[in-house]
Amino acid sequence: METRTLDRPPSILPLYARAAAPLIPGASLLPFLPGGGGEIPELELELPGLMTDPEAVAAYARVCGFTLRDQLPPTYPHVLAFPLHMALMADGRFPFGAVGLVHLANRIDQRRPLSLGEALTLRARPTALQPHPKGRTFTIVAEARTSGGELAWESVSTFLRRGHGDPSEVAPDPSAPVPAMRGQRNGSEARDLAALPANAEWRLGSDLGRRYAAVSGDRNPIHMHALTARPLGFPAAIAHGMWTKARCLAALESRLPDAFAVEVSFRRPILLPAEVEFASLEEDHGSAAGGEIEFAVRDARRAIPHLDGHLSPEAMQQPRPTPKATKQSRGKAK
């Protein structure tokens, strides 16, 4: 795998232009633009020595509902890694553009909380395409390591590229929760997340997508305004999936252990403006770190699921050294 080291975060707007270029007829024939088909390249991007901006973190926390603290919200490293996501998908070897991809799921493993003043090394890499009844899926794995090489945070985002689906693949049951919620962790019975008790109701304004875009850098047109969402198949702007996940974790903030894994599946999009309800239930297994938590976001008036989630506490992990790349695999980019 080629590892390309960056000396600064990639600029988002040029990356969006490159990611959307395959929508222009014939543009994908240009070798420096994505969209030529084929397989996903074996490429890892690395951004060392990144320092977080306390004001930017505070702005993000306010939009997502987190308490202002001297630690990063557990979803904030995803924001830091988002430019690397976009740079991977804007690479000329990437088989398709980012516009039109469906974000199916996201898993975050927080080994320990990250402090505001820590210097981080971010890494991101895509995985190979996998068959899906509606097209093909792939993931982007992102890591945040400390200056000593400790892997403190990791996420896996799963995306669907529609079209050319494999009919031999079994389509997932749309009413089923994500796998971690099917009773596979502790041998418990699967729980119907639609039956979880509601804890809160949230009113989401039509400007939520623009507000989140301002603090996250994710300016996908489907989130910005109804006028930009309609050409892409949505009757209105839709809420960012990662805002929805962040808002859920903010609602659970007082119950979050230092080390945990949290995974969500994104169900139906939230059309803005909207009224949704947050539901959660904690199962106490006698652990000092707390119990597992199942949670969901659904429409406040109709039986429409938007997000299913599962959080499980994990033991604090020992620091792991940073893997050394060979000279042949490393490159330098600006």
The alpha carbons of the chain give a radius of gyration, in whole angstroms, of: 20
Q: Per-residue pLDDT tens for 271-285?
A: 999 999 999 999 876
Q: Is the dihedral of CA 238, 101, 260, 173 positive or negative?
A: positive
Question: In this predicted model, which residue has the larger pLDDT, 321 or 315?
Answer: 315
**For position 320, what pLDDT does the model report?**
41
Question: In this predicted model, which residue has the larger pLDDT, 132 or 15?
Answer: 132
Residues of the chain with CATH 3.10.129.10: 1-29+40-164, 179-317
In terms of CATH, what superfamily is 1-29+40-164? Hotdog Thioesterase (3.10.129.10)
Q: Per-residue pLDDT tens for 38-63?
A: 899 999 999 999 999 999 999 999 99
Q: How far is CA 305 from the centre of its chain?
A: 18
Distance between CA atoms of residues 142 and 265, nearest Å:
18
DSSP structure string for 266-326 = E-S--BSSEEEEEEEEEE--S-TT--EEEEEEEESSSS-EEEEEEEEE-PPPPP-PPPPPP
CB-CB contact of 82 with 245 (8 Å): no
Give the lowest-confidence range in 91-95, 140-144, 212-216, 295-299: 91-95
Question: pLDDT band at residue 286, thresholds of 50, 70 and 90?
Answer: low
pLDDT at 29 over 90: no
**For position 97, what pLDDT does the model report?**
82
Residue 190 CB neighbour total at 10 angstroms: 11
Looking at every residue in the chain, the average pLDDT score rounds to 85
Residue 45 CB neighbour total at 10 angstroms: 24
User: Which candidate, 155, 154, 71, 116, places its Cα nearest to that of 320?
Assistant: 154
CB-CB contact of 161 with 128 (8 Å): no
Q: Is the dihedral of CA 19, 25, 29, 32 positive or negative?
A: negative
CB-CB contact of 42 with 4 (8 Å): no
pLDDT at 23 over 50: yes
- Residue % of the chain over a pLDDT of 90: 66
Question: pLDDT band at residue 16, thresholds of 50, 70 and 90?
Answer: confident
CA end-to-end span of the chain: 19
pLDDT at 236 over 80: yes
pLDDT at 300 over 60: yes
Q: Per-residue pLDDT tens for 318-327?
A: 444 433 433 3
Mean pLDDT value across residues 297-304: 94
Question: pLDDT band at residue 167, thresholds of 50, 70 and 90?
Answer: low
**For position 98, what pLDDT does the model report?**
83
pLDDT at 299 over 50: yes
- Do the strands 198-204 and 274-283 form a parallel or antiparallel pair, or are they unpaired? antiparallel
Question: In this predicted model, which residue has the larger pLDDT, 195 or 48?
Answer: 48
Mean pLDDT value across residues 15-37: 59
CB-CB contact of 176 with 282 (8 Å): no
Distance between CA atoms of residues 270 and 149, nearest Å:
38
CB-CB contact of 223 with 239 (8 Å): yes
Q: What CATH number has the domain spanning 179-317? A: 3.10.129.10
DSSP structure string for 141-209 = EEEEEETT--EEEEEEEEEEEESS--TTSPPPPTTS--GGGSS-SSSPPP--GGGSPEEEEEEE-TTHH
